[in-house]
Amino acid sequence: IMILDHFGFDISALVATLGVGSLAFALAARSFLEDTIAGFLIMIDKPFGVGDRIQLPQTVMGEYGDWGDVAEIGVRSTRVRSVDGVLLTVPNSRLINEVVVNFSHSESPNLRVRVRIGVEPQLENVKRSVEEIERIAFDDPDIAREPRAPEVVIREIQEYDVLVELRFYVDDARKMRRTKSRITENILAAFEEKGIRIATPRQLVQLVPADGDDARSHYSAERKSSET
């Protein structure tokens, strides 16, 4: 650059270009080093391995679901196959800097299914629903008995409904989504067969009569209508 300047060349544009290029190179090198160091830490610490089902980082969750199966662990990135079959390439720095849940290393993944049950015409509706949910859970072959058997609890009581929650474990983390979907479907089918009513949204509308002249004109209009 000094030689070019000596011979009268305008080096301001060249210096500016080299400055921007150096900054871009520095940022790219930083990202490369962060991902590479994170890759070595994953290989040493082994928070997960190939075939494990993990919960994806918050910055990756969304369109492709919340979890997936580790397909390959590389130096810079890890490939995870989502439950929809999409192969995601996740930078290793994200897997190191965020909390990643490894369902395969858990004794048994814990799942929950919640249903709102109507309390009308009587509370017997809630009792029957709890019994049906318990039966479905204990009959399912993929629901584990350890570390704890499935249980149904009443989470909250409101004016028109009760929130019932089924808590259960599965033996294989790869069956989490399929088991939860099947349990939900079986509950809906059993409720329809047994006539158990699921709570539906309600809206109370209160009609307030008009006062003064408006009330008298309203009464007069109703009277004329009834006379005709």
Residues 88-119 pLDDT 10s: 888 888 888 887 888 777 666 678 888 888 76
The single-letter code of the amino acid at 86 is V
pLDDT at 156: 83
Measured CA to CA in angstroms, residue 23 lies from 16, 19, 36, 91, 99 at distances of: 11, 6, 20, 21, 31
Dist CA 48 CA 139 (whole Å): 32
The verdict on 57 and 124 lying in the same domain is no
pLDDT at 1: 46
Tokens of 179: 């088991």
Dist CA 52 CA 56 (whole Å): 12
Comparing 225 with 118, the larger pLDDT belongs to 118
The verdict on 81 and 134 lying in the same domain is no
Distance of CA 2 to the CA centre of its chain: 59
Among candidate residues 103, 93, 75, the one with its CA nearest the CA of residue 170: 103
Q: What CATH number should be reported for the domain holding residue 175?
A: 3.30.70.100
Give the long-range contacts of residues 140-144, CB within 8 A, separation 24 or more: 140/179, 140/182, 140/183, 140/186, 142/170, 142/171, 142/172, 142/175, 142/178, 142/179, 142/182, 143/168, 143/169, 143/170, 143/179, 143/183, 144/108, 144/168, 144/169, 144/170, 144/171
The verdict on 99 and 139 lying in the same domain is no
pLDDT in tens, 28-80: 567 778 888 888 888 888 888 898 888 877 766 666 667 788 999 999 899 99
The verdict on 35 and 92 lying in the same domain is yes
Q: How many CB atoms lie within 10 A of CB 206?
A: 4
For residue 122, is it within any domain?
yes
Dist CA 168 CA 51 (whole Å): 23
Query: Residue 20 pLDDT > 80, yes or no?
Result: no
Among candidate residues 55, 80, 77, the one with its CA nearest the CA of residue 66: 55
For residue 25, is it within any domain?
yes
Among candidate residues 47, 93, 88, 40, the one with its CA nearest the CA of residue 64: 88
pLDDT at 214: 53
The verdict on 101 and 133 lying in the same domain is no
Tokens of 225: 């209508």
> Contact, 162 vs 116, CB < 8 A?
yes
The verdict on 100 and 3 lying in the same domain is yes
Tokens of 105: 């290393």
Q: What is the rounded average pLDDT for all residues in the chain?
A: 75
The verdict on 139 and 173 lying in the same domain is yes
pLDDT in tens, 157-185: 877 788 889 999 888 777 888 899 999 99
- Give the predicted TM-score (pTM) of the model: 0.54
Q: How far apart are the first and last CA of the chain?
A: 103
- Mean pLDDT (whole number) for 197-209: 64
pLDDT at 6: 41
Which residues form the domain of 172? 110-194
